[in-house]
C-alpha cells in the first residue's frame, strides 16, 4: 500500500516493488526495491511527465527531501520525480554486514552482491517504469555521478524506456578498466591536494603532524575503527566537493587538545573523522566500488584491488616516505583499499566477500558502444572540468561516442554541483535538451 506525506511545498508517496534478485531468473528469489514519488504541492492530480533520479554511489540511498529544496526546486516545475533507493540501499532490501550474514558464507554473499551492479539497477527501473507508467510511456532520467554511469547502461540496455537523459558528473569511460580509472585518478587527486595546500599553507604542517603521530600510534575512533595514517589520508575524499577543502581545514583546526600526558587527538576530531570515514551507512560503496568498472571484454583479469596496486605507481602518496623526506603528505580520494575491511567495524565481516568480488573475472559488460553510437534519446551532460572523481578525458571521449549527446563543460561547479546549485545545473541541462541553450 502506498503512503502519502506532506512536507513544505511537496507531497511524497511511498512505493515498494517486489522484483527479481536475478533478472535472468524472473521466477526466482525476489527482493524489495523502494522508491519515493515527489510532486509539487497542489499538482498531485496533474498528468506530469516522470523524472527518475539515480543517485551517486554505488551503495548510496536516494536523498530524503525536507521540502522543495535543492535540485527539486527546478525539477518539480516540470516533473513528477521518483527517488529510487537502488537495490541494497535505504528502504530497499538492505545489503549490510548484518543482513548478508543470513545468506551464508563469503562465496554466497559475493554471488548475491554480483546482482547489485548498474545492469540490475537499470532492469529494476524498467520494471518499475512499466508498473507506474505503463508499457508505452517513457520517462526522463537524471543520473548523478554513479547514477550517470547507470544512465549510460540504461541507454545501452533499454533506451526505449527513456524520453530524455540528464547526466551530472557521470560520463564513465566506456572502455576504461579499473586500472585505467585509478591511473588517471591519482594525478587529479594530487592536484586537489596542491590546490588545498596553496589555499591553506598552514595545513601542510598540520597534516604532517597528524600523520606522524598516527604512523607511530594509530588511534581508535569512537566506533572502534582504527585510524591509521592511511585511513587519515582517506579524508582526502572530500576534496572533490565545492566546499571540501574548507571542511578539511576546519577539521584540522580542532585536531589537538592538551590531555593529561600532553597533546592528543581531540574527541571532536576523531568523531568528525569517523563520520567521514565510516562505511556503516553505505557498505556497498566499499564492497562494490571497483566492480562498477568491471567489464569482461575490457579486462579479463578483473579489478583485483586496482586502487591499491596502481597506488604503488605514485610514490607521492606514501605518507611515511613523505614524512621522512619532509614533503607534504598527500591525502587520497575516491579509492577503496583492502585494509579498509580490516580497520572499519562495518566492513570487517565482509572482508572475504570483498576479496572474492575483487578476484571475479566474469563481470558482464555494462555498456554497448554500438547501441550508444546509434542513440536516438536526447542526452545532455554536465562535465565538471576539475572533477576529482570522474576523469574529464574519459567523459569527453564518451560524449563523442554517444550519438547526439550534448556536453556542457564547466568549472563553475565541482562534482556536487547538482546538489548545491539550487537547480541551476539541472535547469541548464533541461534547456539544452529543449534547444533553449
Q: At a CB cut-off of 8 Å and minimum separation 6, what does 252 contact?
A: 203, 206, 207, 210
Active site residue 217: no
Residue 362 catalytic?
yes
Calculate the CA 66 to chain-centre distance.
21
Q: How far apart are CA 89 and CA 101, in angstroms?
A: 16
CA dihedral 26, 30, 31, 37 (to 10 degrees): 60
Task: Choose, from 140, 145, 176, 291, the residue flagged as catalytic.
Answer: 145
Say which of 176, 395, 415, 427 is annotated catalytic. 415
The Cα 346–Cα 224 span in angstroms is 10
245/386 Cα distance (integer angstroms): 14
Distance CA 171, CA 405 (A): 11
Q: 3-state SS of 370-404?
A: HHHHCCCCCEEEEEECCCCCCCHHHHHHHHHHCCC
Q: Is 415 considered catalytic here? A: yes
Cβ–Cβ < 8 Å for 258, 212: no
Q: Which residue's C-alpha cell is 574519459?
A: 394
User: Could you list the active site residues?
Assistant: 145, 362, 415
Amino acid at each position: 500500500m502506498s503512503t502519502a506525506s506532506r512536507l513544505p511545498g511537496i507531497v511524497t508517496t511511498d512505493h515498494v516493488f517486489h522484483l527479481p534478485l536475478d533478472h535472468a531468473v524472473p521466477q526466482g528469489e525476489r527482493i524489495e526495491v523502494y522508491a519515493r514519488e515527489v510532486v509539487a504541492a497542489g499538482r498531485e492530480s496533474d498528468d506530469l511527465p516522470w523524472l527518475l533520479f539515480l543517485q551517486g554511489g554505488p551503495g548510496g540511498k536516494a536523498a530524503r527531501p525536507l521540502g522543495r529544496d535543492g535540485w527539486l526546486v527546478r525539477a518539480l516545475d516540470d516533473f513528477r520525480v521518483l527517488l529510487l533507493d537502488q537495490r541494497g540501499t535505504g528502504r530497499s532490501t538492505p545489503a549490510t554486514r548484518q543482513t548478508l550474514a543470513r545468506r551464508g558464507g563469503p562465496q554466497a554473499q559475493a554471488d548475491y552482491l554480483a546482482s547489485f551492479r548498474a545492469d540490475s539497477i537499470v532492469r529494476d527501473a524498467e520494471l518499475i517504469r512499466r508498473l507506474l507508467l505503463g508499457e508505452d510511456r517513457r520517462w526522463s532520467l537524471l543520473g548523478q555521478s554513479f547514477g550517470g554511469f547507470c544512465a549510460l547502461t540504461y541507454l545501452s540496455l533499454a533506451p526505449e524506456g527513456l524520453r530524455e537523459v540528464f547526466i551530472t558528473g557521470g560520463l564513465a569511460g566506456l572502455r576504461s578498466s579499473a586500472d585505467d580509472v585509478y591511473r588517471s585518478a591519482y594525478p587529479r587527486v594530487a592536484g586537489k591536494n596542491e590546490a588545498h595546500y596553496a589555499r591553506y599553507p598552514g595545513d601542510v604542517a598540520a597534516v604532517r603532524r597528524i600523520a606522524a603521530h598516527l604512523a607511530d600510534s594509530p588511534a581508535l575512533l569512537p566506533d572502534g575503527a582504527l585510524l591509521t595514517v592511511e585511513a587519515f589520508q582517506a579524508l582526502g575524499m572530500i576534496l572533490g566537493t565545492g566546499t571540501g577543502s574548507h571542511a578539511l581545514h576546519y577539521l584540522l583546526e580542532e585536531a589537538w587538545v592538551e590531555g593529561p600526558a600532553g597533546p592528543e587527538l581531540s574527541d571532536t576530531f576523531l568523531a568528525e573523522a569517523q563520520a567521514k570515514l565510516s562505511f556503516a551507512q553505505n557498505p556497498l560503496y566499499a564492497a562494490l566500488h571497483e566492480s562498477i568498472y568491471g567489464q569482461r571484454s575490457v579486462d579479463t583479469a578483473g579489478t583485483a584491488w586496482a586502487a591499491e596496486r596502481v597506488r604503488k605507481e605514485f610514490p607521492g602518496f606514501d605518507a611515511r616516505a613523505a614524512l621522512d623526506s619532509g614533503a607534504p603528505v598527500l591525502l587520497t580520494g575516491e579509492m577503496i583499499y583492502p585494509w579498509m575491511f580490516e580497520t572499519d567495524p562495518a566492513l570487517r565481516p565482509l572482508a572475504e566477500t570483498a576479496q572474492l568480488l575483487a578476484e571475479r573475472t566474469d563481470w558482464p559488460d555494462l555498456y554497448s558502444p554500438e547501441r550508444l553510437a546509434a542513440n536516438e534519446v536526447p542526452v545532455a551532460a554536465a562535465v565538471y572540468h576539475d572533477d576529482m572523481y570522474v576523469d574529464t578525458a574519459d567523459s569527453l571521449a564518451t560524449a563523442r561516442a554517444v550519438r547526439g549527446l550534448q556536453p556542457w563543460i564547466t568549472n563553475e561547479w565541482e562534482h556536487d554541483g547538482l546538489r548545491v546549485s539550487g537547480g541551476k545545473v539541472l535547469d541548464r541541462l533541461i534547456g539544452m535538451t529543449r534547444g533553449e541553450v
